[in-house]
Structure 1
């Protein structure tokens, strides 16, 4: 193990530049965990290994190094199945405290949480860090009961995350669409599918890498197919709303071509320019066919292209029944109907 604190050569006068990065190599990870133990566990006389837990393998890790490559700050973000992110194991070396590195680390982890579409960020803050997190917008929920082996008091801090605030165009429609996905297709919420952006021209979605990986640590093909399907369907739904049309959108045929394995945080992009349709037929109450294309990326590298053909119908029995029961909706909400590959069953 690298003895980091003893080798740090950080002074107020000599160091002015710091670099934020994700630990990736075996050497970086070894230094990262060593730093966590030295800063957070060794002062409490806890053994080696106590600086790690079972969630590290699926978590997001960040570290800050100085110009000479010395590790000076670390932090971790873990996202659970309830769309909640937790900040843990955050520490800054005493020699570089009060330089804003703690704020940089916390804001970076919060940014990652926002990109993953979580509903809130929590942390178990030590008593002397409560004021620090409060300045960043976290609300103190009270003291946490900790084991008697830990002499330091901890407090639960929570910060809500409004993940659709940055939508450039029709954020209200995007919020309605995402809620409809979660309500009618529960798998989309379990996968963590989230609308990332809508400009009126492009529609972008994403989902967490964690929980959607295969045994090879790349993105699971089934998750990517589902993400692409929802993205293309979502853009068509938004396009119909832009044109004051409603109805049922049915995925009749689809296929996907992979050019390379996709790793990293995935995103799916659908562009109006890639759609081919005749919506005048729909406006006249007839069926209209829409051809769509969705590009799939991981770490900003394209790995697959999804192409699908949908049939848009002005009304459906399901929508009419729902409207007759409520009599409140002015426009029928388009219903998702997916034709699964190699199957004859349709899901509405």
Structure 2
């Protein structure tokens, strides 16, 4: 049985890059290191492992915009090609993209892989480039459906509230990109939120994290048909690394304590919510917020 997942540790990440090099660079006499680029720390990396946790497939997704992403460095171990592993890998990368708010995925396919990608719904847009003077690539694009199409109306309502009452949220174009009752993800427009170092403003990171926690409380109220004013009582953030790519923020059931139950008795409901601000797979900031849903007084 094969599984697709994130590399667990540095040793697996080294194996991930080794397979990349062996499949995509070594046959053209390229040196070790040529299998990497400047976007590695901004990307989502996935491996396919067998029952013994041997890495037999690799692929990468990186966002190039709020709603646009690229797949690169797809490779399957020789001898296992044609067994559905490539399809498994693409499916996982598309799932990640959809949950990150991506609407369009682009990739450059070698001529011998065009049929494979077309069978998965990618449209050939014609010649892209030739690698090492020998390997021709075509540009291919696929439109991605939202991860949860039932979310759109609720998310639109919340975004409208934000944009009408918090001007900064509109300027940042903060969007709800995924929510399934267990995980919530948001994103924002990257270019507006860059500083002179081409990394994300600390204030923008804080705002994105704050509103992600706020959104969790909002959805909790909606689920119980409760109305309350949501306020941030206290917020703290730890910046771990510069955010040079495209950000998303996320929280989940395991990062939240509190419920709307006190509202049924006319009391305020309190939530403690941790929010991770991420760039690709990497968590670059951790926010902890205490929120209060203030009961409506009749």
Equivalent position to 1:230, from 208, 215, 233: 215
Give the corresponding residue for 1:56.
40
Q: How many residues were matched structurally?
A: 262
> TM-score, length-normalised on structure 2?
0.69
Give the corresponding residue for 1:274.
260
CA RMSD of aligned residues (A): 4.1
Give the corresponding residue for 2:135.
152
Does 2:90 align with 1:106? yes
**In structure 2, what is the Cα distance between the partners aligned to 1:34 and 1:253?**
47
For 1:18-97, what aligned pairs fall within 5 Å after superposition? 18-97=2-81
**In structure 1, what is the Cα distance between the partners aligned to 2:93 and 2:105?**
9
Kept in 2: contact 1:251–1:311 (CA 8 A):
no
Change (3 A) 1:113 1:49: same
Change (3 A) 1:152 1:182: farther
Kept in 2: contact 1:181–1:188 (CA 8 A):
no
SS at match of 1:95: coil
SS at match of 2:135: coil
Give the corresponding residue for 2:271.
293
**In structure 2, what is the Cα distance between the partners aligned to 1:139 and 1:60?**
23
Give the corresponding residue for 1:117.
101
Query: Going by fraction, where is strand more abundant, 1 or 2?
Result: 2
Give the corresponding residue for 1:6.
none
Does 2:196 align with 1:205? no
Change (3 A) 1:40 1:55: same
Provide, for residues 296-326 of structure 1, a one-character-per-residue CA deviation record: whole Å limited to 9, x for no partner.
Answer: 3669xx995632245879xxxxxxxxxxxxx
Give the corresponding residue for 1:254.
233
**In structure 1, what is the Cα distance between the partners aligned to 2:236 and 2:121?**
44
Provide, for residues 163-216 of structure 1, a one-character-per-residue CA deviation record: whole Å limited to 9, x for no partner.
Answer: 25353xx643334434665785236546x642413xxxx5852146xx99x9xx
**In structure 2, what is the Cα distance between the partners aligned to 1:310 and 1:84?**
38
Change (3 A) 1:128 1:309: same
Q: CA deviation at 1:135?
A: 1.3
Q: Unaligned 5+ residue runs, structure 2?
A: 194-198, 200-204, 241-247
Kept in 2: contact 1:84–1:118 (CA 8 A):
yes
Change (3 A) 1:26 1:257: closer
Could you say which structure has the greater relative contact order, defined with CA pairs below 8 angstroms and 6 or more residues apart?
Answer: 2
Does 2:155 align with 1:174? yes
SS at match of 1:49: coil
Kept in 1: contact 2:176–2:185 (CA 8 A):
yes
Change (3 A) 1:73 1:306: same
Q: CA deviation at 1:18?
A: 2.6
